[in-house]
Chains A and B, each alone.
Chain A
Amino acid sequence: MREPRDPAELLKSAADGDRTAWDLLESRFGPRMWAVARVCGLNEADAADAVQGAWLRLLEHLHTIREPSGVGAWLATTTRREALLIARRDSPGILSVDVASDPDPAAAVLEADDSRLLWKTVSDLKEPCRTLLQLVATDMGSQQMAVRLGMPVGTVGPTRIRCLEKLRTLISLQETVQ
């Protein structure tokens, strides 16, 4: 099986006029960008706008991305910025955003291609974290989650933060071991 093309190479090829390279960038990073836009609380139409906005930003910066190998994280960061701007419903009219020159370091979690490892780590957590994070991943609201988990709705948010922290720690440890 052929190795997937390096993101930096894809970016350079796209900048040089290779449409196939652009399509491959979309295949690789589009699903992540969609997930980022959706967790920012956008509905489908607004999430679609945020994702398209990030691709338009990439088009503007095809030749000026500072770290071409990190184009995936750059796209995730840019999607989040666009999504948060769109989520601010109090600013109708013309929306523009400063483009990130560097990606958020936290976006690196999306760079990991092994989603099975992440999901297995969630499955290995103790309750209520295991079920809570599985429900979070399916976009269930706090009210419904509270019912499913049998906990007061007011405790769902703080518990979610604690569970995410545990998961983050476990993932970091696994990365350290590897």
Chain B
Amino acid sequence: MINDEYFLAALRLAAGSDPIPGHVSAAARDTYGLRVSQAVTAPPADCASPIGARGGDGPGLVRFVAAGLTFDLEVTVGDGLIDVAGQVFPHPGEGSHVDVRTPHLTLTRRLARTGQFAVTGLPPGWLSVVCHRPGLAPVQTRWVRIRP
């Protein structure tokens, strides 16, 4: 049995018994507003503490690398909200900043001299960080889903 999900999905679609909810369609359309023109996407890379290695209680670490930049994100989930402590290195230069984004909320942070930044109280779900560098293409991490 290979990928029967597609066939079953076609049946469900034909039956019309479980149409896509309006809010799901609306969220999909709103996703387009998250497009960052000319951005380079950084995929996850191997790092000292791989994804999920610390389980659900401690912080999770994930590294993204592209265009000469490395993003280290330490994500903590507590009380149903997400805190992110991150570092971009090497430092992308004077005037750089990061946007920590969820589909519904973007928080902008100037980078410390060490390239570090932090945000707290994000809703669980999809998350991405974009680093804006003067005169260079922005670099965005791939979207990752974070749930308690």
* Residues in chain A within 8 A of chain B (CB atoms): 14, 17, 19, 22-23, 26-27, 30-36, 38-40, 44, 47-49, 51-53, 55-57, 59-60, 62, 76, 80, 82, 85-86, 91-96, 104, 106-110, 112, 115-116, 118-119, 122, 133-134, 136-139, 161, 164, 167-168
Contacts and interface: CB of A to CB of B under 8 A. Distances in A.
Given A48-B24, A106-B3, A115-B13, A96 B8 contact: no
Interface of A is mostly: helix
Nearest first, the 9 closest Cβ-Cβ pairs linking A and B are A137-B15, A34-B20, A106-B3, A115-B14, A92-B56, A35-B9, A137-B11, A93-B60, A56-B143
B6 A76 contact: yes
Contacts of B77: 93
Given A55-B31, A91-B52, A93-B52, A36 B25 contact: no
Interface of B: 1-15, 17-21, 23-25, 27-29, 31-32, 34-35, 37, 41, 44, 51-52, 54-56, 60, 62, 75, 77, 103, 125-126, 128, 140, 142-148
Contacts of B15: 119, 134, 137-138
B30 to A, nearest CB: 9
A60 B142 contact: yes
Interface of B is mostly: mixed
A146 B142 CA distance: 44
Nearest to B13: A35
B7 A167 contact: yes
Contacts of B146: 93-95
Contacts of A94: 51-52, 60, 62, 75, 144-146
Contact of A119 (B7, B9, B14, B31): B14
B3 A80 contact: yes
A115 B10 contact: yes
B114 to A, nearest CB: 23
Contacts of B20: 30-31, 33-35, 51
A44 to B, nearest CB: 7
A148 B34 CA distance: 47
